[in-house]
Amino acid sequence: MDTNDFVKKFNETKKKDHQNKKRQGHDDPSKKLPNKRH
């Protein structure tokens, strides 16, 4: 595996991580629970 492939894979993983974090922030069950209690 050469450096280019590694960097590409690394960037893709980082992007996926970022998207997952964004999604979890919006649909966070722990954030929704307190709202239902009030």
Residue 20 corresponds to which amino acid?
Answer: N
| Better-predicted residue by pLDDT, 22 or 4 | 4
Q: What is residue 30's predicted lDDT score, i.e. its pLDDT?
A: 63
Q: What is residue 11's predicted lDDT score, i.e. its pLDDT?
A: 92
CA–CA separation, 16 and 19 (whole Å): 5
For the entire predicted model, the pTM comes to: 0.47
CA–CA separation, 21 and 4 (whole Å): 26
